[in-house]
Amino acid sequence: MNTIDYVGERLWIGHIGNGFVVLSFVSSLLACILFYISAKNKNHLNFARVAFNLHSISVLGIAGTLFFMLFNHFFEYQYVWQHSNTDMDMKFILSCFWEGQEGSFLLWTFWNVVLGLILKKQLRDGLWEVPVMTIFSLVQVFLASMLLGIYLFDFKIGSNPFLLLRQHAEFSNLPFIQNADYLAKLNGRGLNPLLMNYWMTIHPPTLFLGFASTLIPFSFSIAALWNKQYTMWQVVALPWTYFGILILGVGILMGGAWAYEALSFGGFWAWDPVENSSLVPWLVLVAAGHTMIINKNKGGSLFTTHFLAIGSFLLVLYSTFLTRSGVLGNASVHAFTDLGMTGQLVIYVLTFVLITVALLINNKLFKITYLILSFLILVFGIVFGYKKVLLMIWILSSVIITAACYYLYFPKEKEEEELFSREFWMFLGALILILSSLIIIYFTSLPVINKLFNTDYAPPKVPVYNVWMVPFSIITMLLIACAQFLKYKKTNSKQFIIRISYSFLIAFIFGLACTIPLYFMSNFSSSSAYDKWNLISYASLFISSLFAVLSNSDYWLIILKGKVMKSGAAIAHIGFALILLGALISTSKKIVLSKNTAQRKVSGLGADFDDKKSILLTQGDTLPMGPHLVTYTGKKREGINVYFNVNYLKINKNGKPEFDFTLVPHVQDNPRMGKAPEPATKHYLNRDIYTHVTYADLNIDTITSNKNVFATAKNYIGHIGDTIYSSNAIIIIDSLKTNINKSEYEKNDSLLEVTAVLRCLDINSKVFYAYPKFIIQRNVVIPKEAIVDQLGLKLVFWKINPDEGTIEVTMSEKLSNNRDFIVMEAYVFPFINILWLGCFIMAVGITIAIIERTRLIKLQSSKV
Amino acid sequence: MKKFHILGILVIGVAIGVILVSLKNTSTYADFNEAMKSPDKEFHVVGKLDKQATQIYDPKINPDEFLFSMIDNKGSVKRVVLHKSKPQDFEKSEQIVLIGKMQGDDFHANDILMKCPSKYSDGKPQIN
C-alpha cells in the first residue's frame, strides 16, 4: 500500500485530543482505585484527589480541543465534518458540539466532573468523601471509555471524536482519499438545521446537567450501603437531590417548549420514547426526594429511599441505552443512530445493576451466592449462548435475592404508621410516582420486550398514555393538596378535615362550575362509555388540581403567614398542580380550527379516522376558519426555509371583516432530513392559535413567472349536455349551431362552420359563454378558438364525430389559474399559559426549598 | 402486616393489572394478511411504497385523504387510504409504518411513520 502525503492536515490536534481521551480514562481509573484503597489507608487520599483533578483537567482538555477544532473548521476530522460547516452561524457552535453521540457523552462527562469537583470540595475530609468519590470515579471510568474508540479483540469500546474523516469505516474507500489535496476543497456537512434553534443551545446542557445530578444521590446511597451507614447520607444528599429535580425538570420542560415551538408534534408533549426516558428518572428522583424527607424527619422508608435514589440513576443509564442503541427503531422520531455501542451500553447498565444489588444485599452469604451466580450465568452465556433466557433468569434472581435480604436483614421500623400522618401520605405519593414510572417505562420498553420475548407489540399511542396517567395524576393532586396540613407522626384528624374542607369546597364548587360547561354540556349522555370515563376523569383532575393549588396557597399564605423562605415546598406544589391543570385544559379542550368540509365520511372505522383536521387554502381566497377568516397571501424562500404568509381577519362590530394578525408557518427544506414543517403560533393570554403547514409546493419559480401563458391543452370528447371541469369552472356543452348558408357555402369554396355554445359557470355560478368555431374550408379544418378572459380558459373545437354524435374540444388553462395552495392544520390550545406559569412557579419553589435546606445544614453544622 | 406492606403489594398488583389489561389492547405489528383476518383490530403494518401504483392526493376534494399502495414485508400489495394530508417527502421514504385497520380490500390508516434515508448515507464527503 503506497502512502499519500495529505496536504494541510492538522494531525497534531488529533494527537492532543487523543492524549486527553486516554488520560481521562486512565486518570479516572486511577482515581477510582486510589479512592477505594484510601478507605482503608488514608495515605492515598491526596493521590486520589490529584488523580480526580487530572481527570477533570483532561475532560476539559477534550472539550476544549473539540471546540477549537469546530471553531476552526478542521474538516479532516470526522466529527467536525459531520456536525459543522463554514456557512453556518457561529452562535450554533454549541449545538454542533453536542449534536453527535460522542459530544453528548462528553457533555455528560463534563457535568459529572463539574459536580464531582464541587462535591469533592464540599465533602473534603468528611465521612463521605472517600466512598462517594469512589463511586463518582467509577462512573467516570465508564463514561470516559465511551470516547476511547478502540477495539478489544472484535469488541468496539467507545466512539472517538478525534477520528480522521479518511479513517472512518464508512468513508475509507471513497475516491477523495486518493486526492492528497482533498482538504482544500472539502466543506463540512453542517449542523442539522432543525437544531439551529435557541432551545437547542440550552435544552441539552440543562438536561444533561439533570442526568449528571442523579449521580449524586446514587453515589451517596451506594456509599451508605458500602459503609453500612444507612441514614446519615440523606442530610447532605437531600439538597442535591432537589437540585437534580429542579434541573432535570426544567430540562424536560424545555424539551417540551422546543417541541411546541419548533416541531410539528401538534403539542408540547407526545409521549415520545426520548421524552419518556427522561421523564421516568425525574419521577423516580422526585419520589426519592420525598422519601428522603420522610426518613430525615421520622426515620423509616429507608429501603425505599435507597431503592429510589439508585433507581433514578440506573434509569438514566437505561434510557441512555434505549435512545442510543437503535433498539427503538421505528418507535421514535428522534432516537440517535446506532454507533455500534449497543453491547457496551448493555454491559454498563448490567454492571451497575450488579454492583447495586450486591451492595443492597447486606448478608455475606447471600452476597457471595449472588456474585457466584452472576459469574456462572455470565460464563454460561459466553460459552453456550441462550443470552435472553439467562438475562431474564439473572434479573429475576437479582430481584428475589434483594427482596429476601430486605425482609430478613434490612433495618426496619418498629412502630406502625399513623393513617393521619404526613409521612404516610408522602409515602403514598412516592408509591404513586413509582407506579406511574413503572407503567411509562413498560410502555416505552415495548421494543425491548419484543426483542427479548420475540413478540411484536407496537408502541402505544398518545391517548393510551393519557388514559392511564390521568387517574394517577388525580391521586397525586389529592395527596399534594392534603399532605402539607398533616403533621409528622400524628395529626388530629378532626382539625385536619375541617381545615382542608375550605379549599376542597371552593375547588369543588368552582371546579364544577367550570367543568360542567367544559365537559358535560355537549352530548355527554350520547357518548361512548370510554369517552364518558375520560370526561369524568378530566373533570376530576380539574377539581383535584384546583384543590391542590388552593390548599397549598392556603398553607403558604395563612399557616406559614406568607413567609417565602419557609414555603418552598408549598410553592413548588402549586407550580406542579398548575402544570397539570394547564396540560389538562390545553390538551382536553384543544380545538381543531381547520376542520375541512369534505363530505366523505368513513363510518365504521371509529373516531380516530374521522378527524378532519386540515384546511385547503388557495392563494387569494378568503375562507372561514373557526371564528376567523383566513387568507393565504403568498410564500417566500429564505435560505432553506419557505415561509407561508397567512392573514387572519375578524368580523368587526359593523359585521365587516377586518385585518387581525398574520401567522407565517414555514417548512424547512432540510437537506438532511427532508421537509420539516415548523409551526407558527399566535399567543394570547388565555389561548394559543397554533398552525402548521402539512402539504405545500416549496417551489417558488412556478408561480412568479409565465402567469399569462396557457398550459398544455387537454382533449375532451362529449355529447351535447356533457360537462367539462376546469380548475375554476364547470363548462357545459350547451348546443351546436351550424350556419350552412347554401350561397355562402358555394361562394366561399365549400365553407362549413359549426359553433359550439359552451356555458361556463364559475364557483359563484356566474355564467360566461364561449363560442369556439369548427370551420371547414376547402376540406381543411380551421378551428377558431374562444378565450374566456375572466376564467383564463382557452377552448378549441376541432373535431366532430358524426357516427358517435360527439364533438371534441380541447381546453387549456392559464398557468395563473392553477393558483398556489397550502394544506394547513390549525388548533387552539386554551389556557396553555397556565402550564408555562406552573413551570416557572415550580422552578422558583424548588429553588427556595434548596436554598433553605442548604442554609439549615450550614446552621446545624456550625452549631456542632 | 403493616400498612406499607399492604400498599407495596397493592402497587405491584396494579402494575401487573395495567400490563395485562394493556397487553390485550396493544396494537401489534402485522402484515396485511393478518390485518385482513381481524378487520376490527388496529395494526401497525410495515412495508414499502409501491412506486408503480398511482397515488391520488387531491386536496381540493379532501385534504385529509391520500391514496397509495404499499407492499408489506411479506410481499402482498394493498391499496391504502391514509386519512391525513399527504406527508412531505413521501416518495423518498425507505420504509413505511401504517397504523390502522383493514376494511374491505383497502387498508385505512389514521397515522403513518416514515423512515427516510438515514443521516449517514445521504452525506458522503465530496470534493468539487
pLDDT in tens, B43-93: 889 899 998 888 888 887 788 889 999 999 888 999 999 988 888 878 877
A241-294: pLDDT as tens digits: 999 999 999 999 999 998 888 877 777 888 888 889 999 999 999 999 999 998
Q: What angle do CA A782, A784, A790 make, to 5 degrees?
A: 160
Residue among A200, A309, A204, A320 nearest A251 (CA) = A204
Portion 21-80 of A in contact with B at CB < 8 A: none
* Contact indicator for A545, A580 with CB cutoff of 8 Å: yes
Return all residues near A657 (Cβ < 8 A) that are at least 6 apart: A622, A629, A649, A650, A651
pTM of structure: 0.87
**Subunit contact A186:B85, Cβ cutoff 8 A:** no
Query: Tell me, what's the pLDDT at A284?
Result: 97
* Contact indicator for A231, A294 with CB cutoff of 8 Å: no
Mutation for testing the B interface, residue in A82, A336, A614 having most B CBs under 10 Å: A614
Q: Which residue has the higher pLDDT, B127 or A810?
A: A810
Mutation for testing the B interface, residue in A264, A695, A726 having most B CBs under 10 Å: A695
**Subunit contact A667:B46, Cβ cutoff 8 A:** no
Q: Which three cell numbers stand for residue A652?
A: 368587526
Residues of chain A falling short of pLDDT 50: 1, 333-335, 603, 703
Q: Which residues of B touch A435 (CB under 8 A)?
A: 11, 14-15
Q: Which residues of A touch B60 (CB under 8 A)?
A: 616, 821
Residue among B93, B114, B110 nearest B101 (CA) = B110
- For cell 410553592, the residue is A571
CA distance A452 to A431: 28
* Contact indicator for A552, A570 with CB cutoff of 8 Å: yes
Q: Which three cell numbers stand for residue A95?
A: 449545538
* Residue B10 lies inside a defined structural domain of this protein: no
In order of A610, B61, B65, B115, B119, the CA distances from B80 in angstroms are 16, 17, 10, 17, 28
CATH number of the CATH domain containing B109? 2.40.50.140
Residue among A372, A410, A45 nearest A224 (CA) = A410
CA distance A687 to B71: 43
Q: Which long-range contacts (CB under 8 A, 24 or more apart) does A566-570 make?
A: A566/A852, A567/A845, A567/A848, A568/A845, A568/A846, A568/A847, A568/A848, A568/A849, A568/A850, A568/A851, A568/A852, A569/A484, A569/A845, A569/A849, A570/A484, A570/A845
How many Cβ atoms from other residues are within 10 Å of residue A779's Cβ?
8
* Residue B110 lies inside a defined structural domain of this protein: yes
CB nearest to B15's CB, from A417, A435, A610 = A435
A432-474: pLDDT as tens digits: 999 999 999 999 998 888 888 888 888 888 888 988 899 999 9
What residue segments make up the domains of chain A, in order of their start?
A: 1-191, 484-592, 611-703+821-830, 710-813
Query: Tell me, what's the pLDDT at B115?
Result: 74
Q: Does position B122 have pLDDT exceeding 50, yes or no?
A: no
* Residue B8 lies inside a defined structural domain of this protein: no
Mutation for testing the A interface, residue in B38, B62, B64, B113 having most A CBs under 10 Å: B64
| Distance from the B60 Cα atom to the nearest Cα atom in chain A, whole angstroms | 7
* The residue type at A409: Y
In sequence order, the β-bridge partners of residue A695 are: A823
CA distance B60 to A697: 14
**Subunit contact B27:A457, Cβ cutoff 8 A:** yes
In angstroms and rounded to an integer, the radius of gyration of the C-alpha atoms of chain B is: 21
Query: Tell me, what's the pLDDT at A597?
Result: 62
Q: Which residues of A touch B85 (CB under 8 A)?
A: 614, 694-695, 823, 825
CB nearest to A417's CB, from B4, B89, B108 = B4
Q: Which three cell numbers stand for residue A509?
A: 364548587
- A461 at interface of B, judged by CB pairs closer than 8 A: yes
* Residue B109 lies inside a defined structural domain of this protein: yes
- B52 at interface of A, judged by CB pairs closer than 8 A: no
CA distance A816 to A709: 8
CA distance B51 to B117: 16
CA distance A34 to A140: 14
* Residue B21 lies inside a defined structural domain of this protein: no
Q: Which residues of A touch B100 (CB under 8 A)?
A: 605, 609
Query: Tell me, what's the pLDDT at B61?
Result: 77
Q: Which three cell numbers stand for residue A76?
A: 479532516
**Subunit contact B108:A602, Cβ cutoff 8 A:** yes
Packing angle of the helix pair A342-360, A129-145 (nearest 10 deg): 160
Question: Which residue range forms the structural domain that includes residue B33?
Answer: 28-117
Q: Which three cell numbers stand for residue A835?
A: 402550564
CA distance A612 to A597: 8
Q: Which three cell numbers stand for residue A254?
A: 424545555
Portion 419-438 of A in contact with B at CB < 8 A: 419, 424, 427-428, 431, 434-435, 438
* Residue B76 lies inside a defined structural domain of this protein: yes
Query: Which burial class, exposed, middle or buried, applies to A835 when counting CB atoms under 10 A from its CB (0-12, 13-18, 19+)?
Result: buried
- A615 at interface of B, judged by CB pairs closer than 8 A: yes
**Subunit contact B123:A672, Cβ cutoff 8 A:** yes
CB nearest to B14's CB, from A435, A609, A612 = A435
**Subunit contact A174:B122, Cβ cutoff 8 A:** no
Closest chain B residue by Cα to residue A607: B110
Query: Tell me, what's the pLDDT at A285?
Result: 97
Query: Which burial class, exposed, middle or buried, applies to A682 when counting CB atoms under 10 A from its CB (0-12, 13-18, 19+)?
Result: middle
In order of A259, A794, B26, the CA distances from A270 in angstroms are 9, 51, 18
Closest chain A residue by Cα to residue B123: A189
* Contact indicator for A491, A422 with CB cutoff of 8 Å: yes
Q: Is the dihedral of CA A249, A255, A258, A259 positive or negative?
A: negative
Q: What ipTM, to 2 d.p.?
A: 0.87
- With left for phi above 0 and alpha for psi between -120 and 50, is residue B25 left, alpha or beta? alpha
| Distance from the B107 Cα atom to the nearest Cα atom in chain A, whole angstroms | 11
Structural domain tally of chain B? 1
